[in-house]
Homo-oligomer: A and B are copies of this chain.
Amino acid sequence: MESPDTTPEELDAVMERAAAAAPVLASQAPEERSHMLRTIADALDAAAEELVPLAMAEAHYPEARCRGELGRTTFQLRLMADTVELGSHLEAGIDPADPEWGTPRPDLRRLMVPLGPVVVFGASNFPFAFSTAGGDTASALAAGCPVVVKGHPGHPGLALRTAELLTRALSEAGLPDGTFALVTGVETGRRAVTHPRTRAVAFTGSIPGGRALYDLAVSRPDPVPFYGELGSLNPVFVTRAAAAARGGEILTGYAESANQGAGQFCTKPGVVFVPEETDLKDLVADFAGRGGARLLNERVEQGFSRVLDGLAGHPATEVLVQGRETGEGWSPSLLRTDLDTLLANAEDLLTECFGPATLVVTYADEARLLETAGVLHGQLTVTVHGEEDDSVAPALLALGADLAGRVVWNAWPTGVAVTHAMTHGGPYPATTASGHTSVGTAAIRRFLRPVTYQSVPQSLLPRELRDDNPLGVPQQVSGGLPS
């Protein structure tokens, strides 16, 4: 089912076609671009009966999960289409000439414009939503950038078929053939990052893989932005009051979240802090009673097994439930340590274990939870289970905001809503660009840059910046609120 690797010559041709398509996309009217995005969404929805079985076979996820993820993916494309029509992402700004201003001030008008060809590296664990036609592709196209996807080898057939559907839909929508392309091969991916035509890179995957590509992107003669989502432990803090009030419910929710998708979520709660008096019996029984689940692919399985061995064999941890390969896949593992031991062994224990394994940390002194700020690196999420009048809650939420792109209260980090105010991001190594999100409509901003027109006459201005505003985009005049 897998295509042969793209040759260097083929990649050159793909990148040249993308560069040639860039000005065509950049000059689309909003309704053309939103039509393009909706056409893709429709094509994918129409092919659900073909795509869902492909995803099930290649990613080893149950049908409901695959169907849900496809729905999320096409919803995302349509939400991007709505956003493109609204035009807020253009950040149109008009500062009329003002002789009274504190510096000479001619007429200045700003518009966000697309960067050009974007290379997207999809993730294995979301074969739809974070892959070929996923969030990075959707937001880059919404920005007006051609997309070259480096297909994930974990779902080669699905990647190929998705790409065929996209290519056909784009062609039917009248777009040039450089608008979208799929390429394959590890070396091809590296070449794409350093290709002169590439203007930005988006990546979802592991820390080592992402860092290696980041290093390539920033070492180019002309560095390009690299938006990488690399890894996260997603710590969960359960305060003493919350544990006393509803400890059982919290631990049930934890087991559910940690084991969703066989623990293969970038937002899986990988470490949970509970008071030392917490009764873990039911949690142990829950983990021990869960069957095996096949992991995404052999590479994920090998990595998981290696990290789990390291954690389970570490003198600082106690194995509460030892997962194993059941024949039908891996059953979940549950480890335990205490706060002092964790703080003393942080570099060994605070490592992402991508798969069905998670660490419970018991604490005696609630206030000392704040010491974890010194050992936790950047996170996608930090979760607090607390009571509204918990004295430690404000400090834990502040710690969350310091460390992570999303702070969750009395809920679970898995399940990333696709909305306007979502942040799926965070300080390194959660991402390589903490100023941005890779989920939600704000993800479009990654692929735009500002251009300011000075003293350009109305007839020569982009329509978005004209006084008569024929496209009706929100315009910010003299720094006021957009209207």
Contacts and interface: CB of A to CB of B under 8 A. Distances in A.
Nearest to A92: B421
Contacts of A106: 411, 417
B72 A456 contact: no
B451 A105 contact: no
Given A95-B421, A106-B417, A459-B388, A223 B454 contact: no
A374 to B, nearest CB: 12
Interface in A448-483: 448-457, 459-460, 474, 476, 478-479, 481-483
Nearest to A22: B402
Contact of A454 (B94, B225, B409): B409
Contacts of A445: 435
A315 interface: no
A442 B223 CA distance: 22
Contacts of A459: 388
A274 interface: no
Contacts of A76: 102
A239 interface: no
Given A405-B450, A459-B388, A421 B72 contact: no
Contact of A456 (B71, B108, B407, B425): B407
A420 interface: yes
Interface residues of A, number: 90
Nearest to A27: B398
Contacts of A419: 95, 101, 103, 105, 108, 479
Contacts of A377: 222
Interface string A176-204: 00000000000000000000000000000
A72 B103 CA distance: 6
Nearest to A71: B102
A113 B23 CA distance: 35
Contacts of A105: 417, 419
Contacts of A71: 102
A70 to B, nearest CB: 12
Interface stretch (A54-62, A282-290, A336-344, A426-434): A426-434
A88 B407 contact: no
11 contacts: A71-B102, A95-B420, A102-B418, A108-B419, A222-B377, A222-B427, A394-B460, A406-B452, A420-B476, A420-B479, A474-B481
Interface of A: 23, 71-72, 75-76, 78-79, 83, 86, 88, 93-95, 101-106, 108-110, 113, 115, 214-215, 218-219, 222-223, 225, 377-378, 388, 393-394, 397-398, 401-402, 404-411, 415-423, 425, 427-429, 432-437, 441-442, 445-446, 448-457, 459-460, 474, 476, 478-479, 481-483
Given A103-B418, A218-B218, A406-B452, 10 more contacts: A75-B103, A78-B102, A103-B417, A113-B401, A115-B435, A222-B428, A388-B460, A425-B450, A436-B449, A481-B482
